[in-house]
A and B are shown apart, each in its own frame.
Chain A
């Protein structure tokens, strides 16, 4: 069930040892010195990953979902990933809206990323991590096996 208005929570990108990570959390850009506030971003990541109902990888990157919160990791260049967290996912245009906002934040950090790339990753991530998707896939596979078994057994019964 999706209820609230989607809200961009985190935009985060690490450059390795060479340069401090770009960190944006709940409306604020965090300077490298604000270690405590930056640590809260990782706490949030860990909460989502540890409680995830689904953690998948696809053509648009990794998607992790906990309740109505979605975390996506999207490749945006040479060995670079941007991690985006959106909470209270809902509404029809939320991927475009959140992706546009995230692209603006990245642009402010001198990184040009097409909003469409992020938007597709968000939409795809939300779709592929929907609850009970695995159960549904297992049920359909089991159904297929049972149907095949029934077909194999039925003629034998008729013969007898």
Chain B
């Protein structure tokens, strides 16, 4: 009796196709750019999304890596990142950030917490005025200034300013989590302004020291993206 088997197979195939289509709809499709200076954690975050966590830490990305689709989950939400590029954070590559920044709906701009600590310590030594800005802070300011026109002229409506490696910031333990986040937001005000102001920029902070902490940071980033999409 081959005919009933064919019918059952057809029904099963149609069901599988329907389920696949539904799953695809439930997955939020996004084009995002992940930018930031050297060691800010761009590749670590992207590898986490790809499910390719490198326990001993990975080498710096030099030649960019292209990913057509990265499927990831944040909490109970599923995302597909399309055409995501993992770029070098070296100053000589900043000009190459332009393409991904202009083409993306969301730009993540990563900064290292240790650069913010160094800057605060340097500023404390010069309470009467602008101190000699640290190299790390200068790099953050310079690259943020470079990104701004790409955000103005491109597709991006949201910029998530993401502070990474907060586990290496002693202020987190000193202040407690909530006060620390507020403190970071205050310190990053000039950078937020450089990127276009609070209308466009959201600040999140977290760590990338383990898959669990990377997951928590990823969830915070996605919370901002989802909240922005609802507005």
Contacts and interface: CB of A to CB of B under 8 A. Distances in A.
Given A39-B93, A73-B62, 20 more contacts: A14-B62, A17-B38, A17-B112, A17-B115, A17-B139, A21-B90, A23-B92, A35-B91, A39-B96, A41-B92, A42-B93, A46-B64, A49-B66, A50-B66, A64-B63, A79-B57, A79-B60, A80-B59, A81-B60, A83-B63
B58 A16 contact: no
A49 to B, nearest CB: 6
Which residue among B60, B90, B112 has the maximum number of chain A CB atoms within 10 Å of its CB? B90
Interface string A42-69: 1101101110000100000010100000
A64 B65 CA distance: 10
A75 interface: yes
B92 A83 contact: no
Contacts of B93: 39, 42
10 contacts: A14-B60, A15-B60, A16-B39, A42-B92, A42-B93, A45-B63, A45-B64, A55-B66, A79-B56, A81-B59
Interface residues of B, number: 24
Nearest to B40: A17
B45 interface: no
A117 to B, nearest CB: 15
A35 B59 contact: no
A12 to B, nearest CB: 6
B64 A21 contact: no
B63 A14 contact: no
A150 B37 CA distance: 57
B59 A75 contact: yes
A71 interface: yes
A14 B88 contact: yes
B154 to A, nearest CB: 18
Contact of B38 (A16, A41, A42, A49): A16
A38 interface: yes
Most A CB within 10 A of own CB, among B63, B65, B112, B136: B63
B95 interface: yes
A85 to B, nearest CB: 9
A62 B41 CA distance: 20
Contacts of B38: 14, 16-17
Contacts of B57: 79
Contacts of B60: 14-16, 79, 81
Contacts of A17: 37-39, 112, 115, 136, 139
